[in-house]
Structure 1
Amino acid sequence: MVVATRNGLDAPLLLLGTALLLVGMVAISSASIEYADWHYGDGWFHARRHLVYVVLAAAAAAVVYRLPPAFWLATGWLWLLTGTGLLVLVLLPGIGKDVNGSQRWLPIGPFTLQPSEFAKLAVVIYLAGYLVRQTEQVRTQWQGFLKPVGVLALVTVLLMAEPDFGATVIVVVTAFGMLFLAGVKLTHFLSVLLVSMLGLLALVFAAPYRMQRLITYTDPWADPFGSGFQLIQSLIAFGRGEWLGVGLGNSVQKLFYLPEAHTDFVFSIWAEETGFLGAMLVIGLFTALVARILWVARRAEVAGEHFGAYLSYGVALVLSGQAFVNMGVSSGLLPTKGLTLPFVSYGGTSLIVCCCMLALVLRIERELPGAARPQRRPRQ
């Protein structure tokens, strides 16, 4: 397979990311227009802000792309420290912004920063570096495996204090996925994984609202005007879309029927307006994007660039996990959980972090020798 590049960039990877950004721009412009007009007297309020976020994300990605992988390897601890510090800062009274009972945002002038999004990237960078430095310990000793698990536990506690159960699940799954791919002992991995799964279940049963979401997920029509309202309205949006959709701008569910129409449930509005084919287009773009990132990771591994490989694997796990959860929640496949759809949902921090992740993978691909390709093993 020949890698297509233009000016040192992996063209397929860049085009897939750009396509998702364009889908997000169109989807948010349509999904937010009535909400913005009602609350701000300007139907294009969120569309303009999202365009600003896209510009900021592109600028941040350009800076990240200019920095070599060696820089991220050497400073992984600093990013983890920064991410942890932001998670602590957002919990301080009078500093963090409380919305609907969750204290997840830091107000910065007219904008807000969501530390949990930054924490995902920080954990991936730190863990990729740790796996390179402590490869043998991670693969052979409990101590080498438990150290990153301890760091993960600290981040998890801070995320749950907000609380942000969705981000917690993504961080935990990503970290364990990276450890598994690094070759950790299966007995060590399964033991800690079992404990972690039991811990997550305990968190679900410990909070009544999480239990209610789980119950609602199994039968949303049991409480159609209460806990099941969001899911039912989302399913109605999918049903109205049929094969080709009702047309861009013609969604009914965005007219204050479906809450969070331009953020957590933007995929539902997109499916209503573009139908089954439009929904499959977005799923196809995400599948191709993640597959391309995994291809870069595999190339890096074959070339001996293990930091780039682990980092790319981590990015693929974050993007695929978050996309799967968001679209799964929208379609009723998973219990309701507030997670943005990467590159598509409205939200500045998420968009900037996603673009930075993509820039990291683009730079890793650029650094690889052109001859490094995974070879098929001959049949015995």
Structure 2
Amino acid sequence: MASALVDVRDPGLDRPLLWTVALLALAGLVIVTSASLQIAETRLDSPFHYGLRHGIYLLASVGLGVFVYCCVPLTLLEKLRFAMLPVALVALVMVFIPGLGREVNGSTRWIALPGLTIQASEIVKLCFVLYLAGYIAQHKAALESGWKAFLLPLGVLAALTFMLLLQPDFGAVVVLGIAAMGMLFLAGVPTLRFLIIGLAVVALGAVVALAEPYRVARLMSFTDPWADQYGAGYQLTQSLIAFGRGHWLGVGLGNSVQKLFYLPEAHTDFVFAVLAEEWGLVGTLAMIVGFAVLGWRLFVIGRGLEQRGFLYHAYLVYGTALVLCAQAFINVGVNMGVLPTKGLTLPFVSYGGSSLLICSVMIALVLRASTEQSRLQARGRSKR
């Protein structure tokens, strides 16, 4: 039934969005392979280990995306919107279960399943967007007029934030907060409420930052990384060196020096710095333009859906745009030294199966939303 409603050859399919995502993902495969050659050869005696795994993840993501696009109607997801919250909470709890939770670099963010390790925050991002899109579609008028409808989703966000900070995963908290506030702002919530909530969040953020010494150290290293270039500022200084070596056209694919164990997480969090070194200013601008086009297409699709009265579809698309654009902006900003260091991947580009899978599902749902409204409108015109 679902495949009958939406066909991959449907004229309503947003091909500019699809091509943009495909190009970003292919560029990611190339740069991840290049960035991980030495570390894979040293650790695993197989230089293409991470590149091959990333390619497998990419193929699995395409398969999952096609399945979601063809077989998951958004009307069903809208009905199941409240079921998304238990799924998110279960994922967050699972990381603390012995034998399931996996600690990486001092943070317990991963769920170890047979053959796959999933980052819990990726599941939470998708589930929260699906929940909030349905909530806005149902309570849009109340959100514009009263506080009660506005505070309920913020309470849900606070509960998820608390669980994420226990891991800790501060980067995911920031992305979720941006997505939630952005979706509610687009829903017509008065600006004064955001100002009040914003002041409260800033005060709470200051308390959270001061509660753990490493958070203060990260902030201090962000303002002056060279003051402690072999300690708290090490990651950022090595990233900046990579950017400096790139010049206009880069040192050439595969010729990065910073990936030779100077730059930590070269194929994940700091893959953009390796890209800057190997592809230069031209390559970095091309990648930034790619994400700008991605965000533009998503907001155009969302706006068109909202104008046609597909509120759930529209806010699902808006939420996807905010999550992907916020994460890309933060990752690029961290790599360039304009934002404090956060453990966030670059969507479609960084190494990581769970990130690719969830991002693929989000894009598939956006494409589904676009083609569903196109088909339904065509049916309405044919009846007239």
What aligned pairs does 1:144-223 form with structure 2 within 5 A after superposition? 144-223=149-228
What aligned pairs does 1:48-63 form with structure 2 within 5 A after superposition? 48-63=52-67
Which TM-score applies when normalising by structure 1? 0.94
Instruction: Name the SS of the counterpart of 2:108 in structure 1.
Output: strand
Tell me the equivalent position of 1:376.
none
Partners in 1 of 2:192 and 2:42 — Cα distance?
Answer: 56
Tell me the equivalent position of 1:140.
145
Conserved 8 A contact 2:330-2:344: yes
Tell me the equivalent position of 1:96.
101
Partners in 2 of 1:289 and 1:100 — Cα distance?
Answer: 31
Tell me the equivalent position of 2:276.
271
Partners in 2 of 1:331 and 1:87 — Cα distance?
Answer: 30
Partners in 1 of 2:307 and 2:51 — Cα distance?
Answer: 43
State the AA in 1 paired with 2:27.
V
State the AA in 2 paired with 1:41.
D
Tell me the equivalent position of 1:75.
80
Partners in 1 of 2:229 and 2:295 — Cα distance?
Answer: 36
**Per-residue displacement from partner, 1:313-355 (whole Å, max 9, x unpaired)?**
1111001100000000001011111100000000111111111
**Per-residue displacement from partner, 1:267-300 (whole Å, max 9, x unpaired)?**
0001100000000000000000110000000100
State the AA in 2 paired with 1:255.
L
Matched, 1:35 2:39: yes
> Which one has the bigger helix percentage?
2
RMSD: 1.4
Partners in 1 of 2:347 and 2:242 — Cα distance?
Answer: 20
Conserved 8 A contact 1:105-1:113: yes
State the AA in 2 paired with 1:60.
L
Conserved 8 A contact 2:32-2:271: yes
Per the TM alignment, residue 371 of structure 1 is displaced from its structure 2 partner at its CA by 11
What aligned pairs does 1:1-380 form with structure 2 within 5 A after superposition? 6-8=9-11, 9-66=13-70, 67-369=72-374
Conserved 8 A contact 1:50-1:348: yes
Conserved 8 A contact 2:225-2:234: yes
**Per-residue displacement from partner, 1:100-159 (whole Å, max 9, x unpaired)?**
210000111232111101100110010000011112222212111111111111000000
When the two structures are aligned, how many residues end up with a matched partner?
A: 368
Conserved 8 A contact 1:263-1:347: yes
Partners in 2 of 1:108 and 1:94 — Cα distance?
Answer: 10
Per the TM alignment, residue 370 of structure 1 is displaced from its structure 2 partner at its CA by 8.0
State the AA in 1 paired with 2:345.
T
Per the TM alignment, residue 187 of structure 1 is displaced from its structure 2 partner at its CA by 2.8
Instruction: Name the SS of the counterpart of 2:242 in structure 1.
Output: helix
Poorly superposed stretches of 4+, deviation over 4 Å = none
**Per-residue displacement from partner, 1:225-250 (whole Å, max 9, x unpaired)?**
11111111100100111000010001
Conserved 8 A contact 1:13-1:293: yes
Conserved 8 A contact 1:303-1:369: no
Instruction: Name the SS of the counterpart of 2:305 in structure 1.
Output: helix
Structure 2 spans left out of the alignment, 5+ residues: 1-7, 378-384
Per the TM alignment, residue 80 of structure 1 is displaced from its structure 2 partner at its CA by 2.0
Partners in 2 of 1:369 and 1:54 — Cα distance?
Answer: 28
Per the TM alignment, residue 302 of structure 1 is displaced from its structure 2 partner at its CA by 0.8
Q: Percent of counterpart pairs with the same letter?
A: 48
Partners in 1 of 2:198 and 2:145 — Cα distance?
Answer: 17
Structure 1 spans left out of the alignment, 5+ residues: 373-380
Instruction: Name the SS of the counterpart of 2:257 in structure 1.
Output: coil
Which TM-score applies when normalising by structure 2? 0.93
Instruction: Name the SS of the counterpart of 1:134 in structure 2.
Output: helix
Instruction: Name the SS of the counterpart of 2:284 in structure 1.
Output: helix
Per the TM alignment, residue 10 of structure 1 is displaced from its structure 2 partner at its CA by 1.3
